[in-house]
A and B are shown apart, each in its own frame.
Chain A
Amino acid sequence: MLLPALVIASSFAYLLLLFAVAYWADRRAQTGRSVIANPWTYALSLAVYCTAWTYFGSVGRAASGGVWFLPIYLGPTLVMLLGWIVLRKMIRIAKAYRITSIADFVASRYGKSPLLAGLVTLIAVVGIVPYIALQLKAVSAGYALLTVPGGVAEAAHWSRDSAFYVALVLAGFAMVFGARHLDTTERHEGMVAAIAFESVVKLVAFLLVGFFVVYGLFDGLGDLFARTQAVPQLQQLLRLEQGGQFAWAQWFGLMLLSMFSVVFLPRQFQVMVVENVREDHLRRAVWVFPLYMLLINLFVLPIALGGLLYFGPGQANAENFVLSLPLAAGQHALALFAFVGGLSAATGMVIVETVAVSTMVSNELVLPLLLRWRHLRSSGGQDFTRLLLGIRRAAILGVLVLGYVYFHLAGEAYALVSIGLISFAAVAQFAPVVLGGMYWKGGTRLGALAGLLAGFLMWAYTLMLPSIAKSGWLDMGFIAHGPWGMAWLRPEQLLGLQGFDGLTHSLFWSMLANVVAYVGVSLWRAPSGREASQALLFVDVFERTAGSSPVFWRGRANTQDLLRLCERFLGAAKARALLDGYAQRVGVRNAQALRPDARLVQFVETQLAGAVGSASARALVASVAEEETLSPEDVLRILDEASQIRAYSRALEDKSRSLEQATAELRAANEQLQSLDRLKDDFMSSVTHELRTPLTSIRALAELMQDDAGMPQAQRQQFVGIIVAETERLTRLVNQVLDMAKIESGHAEWHVAPVDMRALVERAVATTAEVFRERAAQVQVQLPDEAPVLQADPDRILQVLLNLLSNAAKFVPSPGGQVQVRLTSDAQGVTVCVQDNGPGVQPGHEAMIFDRFHQTDLGVQVAHGTGLGLPISRHIAEHFGGRLWLEPSVQPGACFCFWLPLPTEPIGDKTP
């Protein structure tokens, strides 16, 4: 036994720790360093699925039915396999339309119907209250086991009941972290962080107890199972059939049930969809959450078997083995920790469930009534945010008190597992309308109402009533013989259907009634305009983005009214910030200057929906605007227009993109042309200049000779010599221009013959020897002993050599010029380099010197060139399959090289 004070102190210390975690997370969120914005926290928060029911109830179930505790976790695993497809769509829808709860989801999908929202809320509350009671019962039972000799809780007065105070503390927590401020996204950072933390605590505690039982009380798993096999009563727990026919239908039903509840339980919808920070987090959560469930179930069977072996079959309540085993073995600290684990499993569920349910109750039940009753919509500039928060807090307290009352009235009657399954079956009724709404456009408001009502009534009749009867509040004869003795109305064998257990029987009938009513009534009439528009927005959510989604609204509104509405329900400061942000996005100065168009109305309605739910938001907007009712044809037309606009804007985008590209091409071509034109001009001026210089001197000398008839013969001879030289220069210039033109146009003649490069280089050097001597430059020639023979035009190659040599001669300093000519050869070809010690090529001009008409601006020396030598030489080298280049980074001076390939065939005429 443990001291009650110790257990109470530990529990409250733990709850304080929870407050601290939530507070810390809220503070971090305010400074922008969110702890829940990561996939691991998200996955752990999903584990709120594992409640006290898992923690205590699974062991109880395993002790009586073997593997029957598993379908409740296999179903969610299968759902998670489809999570990336189905849940992601749900999250996308919820984010796009500011959905705040499962009731809001259903209502919004079927035309924002307040009636539907109210019905879903009602079903959720009726279904969930027993489930909350179950958590309180688990905590209370655990407390009794630890502190009371014999472990049986006496029916204490509420003022001395631990569960009552636990409920109060949890209500406080939910109010502080679940309803502190109105948020248009309905997100609670602190709460989610605390839930993730609780998930870790309960997993660690359960695993520790498991390890203790398997390795502390027994000698490992093998030992435990061997001893189990030795007891005939327990043997069957390890088998599927367990001696009789296996109830496949029940197995199937439980899996289906848990698949629905892992998505549609209000708390699951809250953490999975509403609290989701980023869609991408789902990617990791879908496998981490099943892994979590696997881990927490790993020791369920061993603990159950261990307890049965330890205490003897039927000697102790199996649902308490997690606590009673460590306690019986004298491990008090472990027992206390196990209790804290169970406490965290229970509190996590209670907190999220009450926050989720209270949001529904305040938005979908209380607010619509208030709006009707007090004419809140018409009263002046009153701020309703405080009222909204007040309603929500009251709803939290109300739900918890209901849970506590239920626990006191019915708690002793039923085992944990049965209560949980009744709740599961209630929320499973949401499945057809939600899933149908996400993938089928034909569902209507009336269909959804009919489906939910039919399913809910069938659930109440076939499952809830019998459970009440079994608690002793109703005559059992009603169950056994049917109402008024009508056997075909027996709740557990409706229409005489037999062979199912109560749960499967109820699930079958309620789902059948639900689906048939939903589909049947939906097909009875075509959807109205509003239903059709919401159906489009939900089903095709992935095909729309915020910018291009159609706006299904038509009418007249007033900006001032809309602004006032926002201020009243979102708070003045928040409303102003939101609307100013919106104004900025659409390019208007401030909120006052906004045009009251359909998009603004839609924006306001979406923001309000985040605070008060879509149905109430619809009613509020409708109260300040003059609206026209849309017919289904209008919806189709609006959709058509939207998609046409989208198509047009896409086409326009395409056009402008290709236009841009064409413009860029044209601009590039134009620049090219301009630069060529400039080069041509430069060349023309340089050529005319070149032509004019010799012409001027020829003319001057000729005039001198013409005027002076008595000129001495020697003088006249000298003049004539100069005239001849100048004429030669003119001829050379003209020849080069023609040569270039010919080569470029492809009309040049090539006489291919075997070329001995050694001899050719020697000849070129000899030809230019005179020029170098004049400039007092030294020429050094490095030749190999033997050079291969090429197939080329020897005259052209000589032209290249002469050009390079004369260039070198032009640029070397005089005196002191040094020129090196090198001939090297390898297997592929022959390389000739001419290096000088002149000024070299200016950095940046390395490529330009090969352009036609380009002349380096080096002053007078260059005036002799035509700017055609290098381009012509390069053309020649390339014509024979070689290349000509400027050797980079040879300093000082310049080193031009060309390379010519050896002929591929030894003999052959390569005349082109």
Chain B
Amino acid sequence: MLKGLGSQRLVALFVGGWVLFNFPLLGLWDRDATVWGIPLFPLALFLLWGGLIAALAWLMEWPEDRLANRNAERPDDRAEAPPPPAPPQE
């Protein structure tokens, strides 16, 4: 389940998201302040949310990761057979 690096990153992101959106970290944003005229708490919630989505999109669409996953998925694939040795030279 967690063979590829990509999968481990996803799990880490999940744990991170779970911690960010719960007690007690979420309470840290609960202040009587505004940013650009918008109250801090709702703004922070949406920004955290957006950030999480952006990180996920990056992980899923990043081609290098895609390659790593593909390799992790098909452990049965063998390396290409080495080319036959060059015929002996005179």
B53 touching A251, Cβ below 8 Å: no
A81 touching B10, Cβ below 8 Å: yes
A283 touching B41, Cβ below 8 Å: no
Cβ of A248 under 8 Å from chain B: yes
> Once bound together, how far apart are the Cα atoms of A255 and B45, in whole Å?
14
Q: In the complex, what's the smallest C-beta–C-beta distance from A465 to chain B, in angstroms?
A: 30
A81 touching B52, Cβ below 8 Å: yes
Cβ of A290 under 8 Å from chain B: yes
A665 touching B49, Cβ below 8 Å: no
Cβ of A67 under 8 Å from chain B: yes
Tally of contact residues, B, Cβ under 8 A? 44
- Give the segment of A220-228, A342-350, A454-462 that binds chain B: A220-228
The interface residues of chain A, by DSSP majority, are classed as: helix
CB within 8 Å for A661 and B84 given contacts A81-B52, A84-B60, A286-B60: yes
The number of chain A residues touching the other chain, given as a range, is 35 or more
Task: Select which of A67, A85, A223 is within 8 A of B7 by beta carbon.
Answer: A85
Cβ of A77 under 8 Å from chain B: yes
CB within 8 Å for A240 and B53 given contacts A221-B38, A294-B46, A661-B81: no
Q: In the complex, what's the smallest C-beta–C-beta distance from B79 to chain A, in angstroms?
A: 11
Cβ of A301 under 8 Å from chain B: yes
A225 touching B26, Cβ below 8 Å: no
Residue-wise, chain B 26-45 has the 8 Å CB interface mask toward A (1 for contact) of: 11011010101111011001
Task: Select which of A240, A251, A287, A664 is within 8 A of B56 by beta carbon.
Answer: A287
Q: In the complex, what's the smallest C-beta–C-beta distance from A674 to chain B, in angstroms?
A: 12
> Once bound together, how far apart are the Cα atoms of A852 and B90, in whole Å?
9
Cβ of A291 under 8 Å from chain B: yes
Considering only residues 192-229 of chain A, those with a C-beta below 8 Å from chain B are 220-223, 225-226, 229
CB within 8 Å for A67 and B45 given contacts A81-B10, A81-B52, A240-B29: yes
> Once bound together, how far apart are the Cα atoms of A77 and B53, in whole Å?
8
A82 touching B60, Cβ below 8 Å: no
By a CB distance below 8 angstroms, the chain B residues around A692 are none
Considering only residues 269-304 of chain A, those with a C-beta below 8 Å from chain B are 283-284, 286-287, 290-291, 294, 298, 301
A301 touching B42, Cβ below 8 Å: yes
Q: In the complex, what's the smallest C-beta–C-beta distance from A627 to chain B, in angstroms?
A: 33
Closest to B2 in A: A85
By a CB distance below 8 angstroms, the chain B residues around A290 are 49, 52-53, 56
By a CB distance below 8 angstroms, the chain B residues around A286 are 56, 60
> Once bound together, how far apart are the Cα atoms of A221 and B85, in whole Å?
72
> Once bound together, how far apart are the Cα atoms of A700 and B85, in whole Å?
53
A294 touching B45, Cβ below 8 Å: no
Cβ of A742 under 8 Å from chain B: no
Counting chain B CB atoms within 10 Å of each CB, which of A225, A251, A287, A665 scores highest? A287
Write the residues of chain A forming the contact surface with B, with a CB cutoff of 8 angstroms.
Answer: 66-67, 70-71, 74, 77-78, 80-82, 84-85, 89, 220-223, 225-226, 229, 238-241, 246, 248, 251-252, 255, 283-284, 286-287, 290-291, 294, 298, 301, 439, 542, 650, 657, 661, 664-665, 668-669, 671-672, 676, 851-852
Q: Can you offer 10 A-B residue contacts whose CB atoms are under 8 A?
A: A85-B7, A85-B11, A223-B37, A238-B41, A239-B32, A240-B29, A283-B60, A283-B66, A665-B84, A676-B90
11 new A-B contacts, CB < 8 A, other than A240-B27, A669-B87, are A67-B41, A67-B45, A225-B39, A238-B42, A239-B32, A239-B41, A240-B41, A248-B23, A252-B22, A255-B22, A676-B90
